[in-house]
Chain A
Amino acid sequence: DTGVSQDPRHKITKRGQNVTFRCDPISEHNRLYWYRQTLGQGPEFLTYFQNEAQLEKSRLLSDRFSAERPKGSFSTLEIQRTEQGDSAMYLCASSLARTGGYGYTFGSGTRLTVV
């Protein structure tokens, strides 16, 4: 297993366009998380899935953001009508469901620049 993969690594888009990111977790991990990180800040939680069920969404998550994990494997994060404030690193992580406090494995992230 090569760890958590995210695609693309970088994305530049014009304001108002839609973008979609993909995350492939570690195959045996049933939990998948999305975070956003801006410069100088820690990762900010967006949402997480257990298998295909979306269990939690941050109240800070705009309606323009939607995430799916249709078959409990890979996940996509879509941002509609992008704004300059959406520019950030988008991180995906996966883990086993919490029994004994398993650690998360993070991907390298997708850096989004909205111009």
Chain B
Amino acid sequence: DAKTTQPNSMESNEEEPVHLPCNHSTISGTDYIHWYRQLPSQGPEYVIHGLTSNVNNRMASLAIAEDRKSSTLILHRATLRDAAVYYCILDQAGTALIFGKGTTLSVSS
């Protein structure tokens, strides 16, 4: 079972920041938080992951709450190409990633 909770959908305007929330209240100390996104008719694409500290890469930023029970994926300036399903997943040692339904992000021009 997916161990994260995400809103079903979110909307954004182009060139505005987007904050995608994820709750993972049952996270354990060694679980990494992963984010993937999936564009229509494509396989999922790795976005970012983290353990405790906030993380930045060229695609996005990941803000992790101090108690690690929630996290937020931040897209700094949304573009039309960012419209996708975003999955927040706990990477637990010894098991494969288990995907939930994710958040469908719509971006308007």
| Chain A contacts to B: CB under 8 angstroms | 4, 33, 35, 40-45, 48, 56, 91, 93, 98, 100-101, 103-109
Contact flags B59-98 to A (C-beta < 8 A → 1, else 0)? 0000000000000000000000000010100010111111
Q: Main secondary structure on chain B at its contact with chain A? A: loop
Q: Which of A42, A56, A98, A109 contacts B43 (CB 8 A)?
A: A109
Contact of A91 with B44 in the complex, beta carbons under 8 Å: yes
Q: Tell me which residues across on chain B come within 8 A of A45, comparing CB atoms.
A: 96-99
Q: A103-B49, A105-B46 are in contact. Are A42 and B93 (CB under 8 A)?
A: no
| Chain B contacts to A: CB under 8 angstroms | 2, 32, 34, 36, 42-46, 49-51, 85, 87, 91, 93-102
Bound CA–CA A42/B84 (angstroms):
12
User: Which A residue sits closest to B43, measured CB to CB?
Assistant: A106
Can you pick out 6 interface pairs between chain A and chain B where the beta carbons lie within 8 Å of each other?
A33-B97, A43-B44, A43-B99, A48-B96, A91-B43, A101-B51
Contact of B51 with A42 in the complex, beta carbons under 8 Å: no
User: Which A residue sits closest to B87, measured CB to CB?
Assistant: A42
Q: Tell me which residues across on chain B come within 8 A of A109, comparing CB atoms.
A: 42-43
Beyond contacts A33-B96, A104-B97: 10 other A-B pairs, Cβ-Cβ < 8 A, are: A4-B43, A33-B97, A35-B99, A42-B102, A45-B99, A48-B96, A93-B43, A98-B93, A101-B51, A104-B44
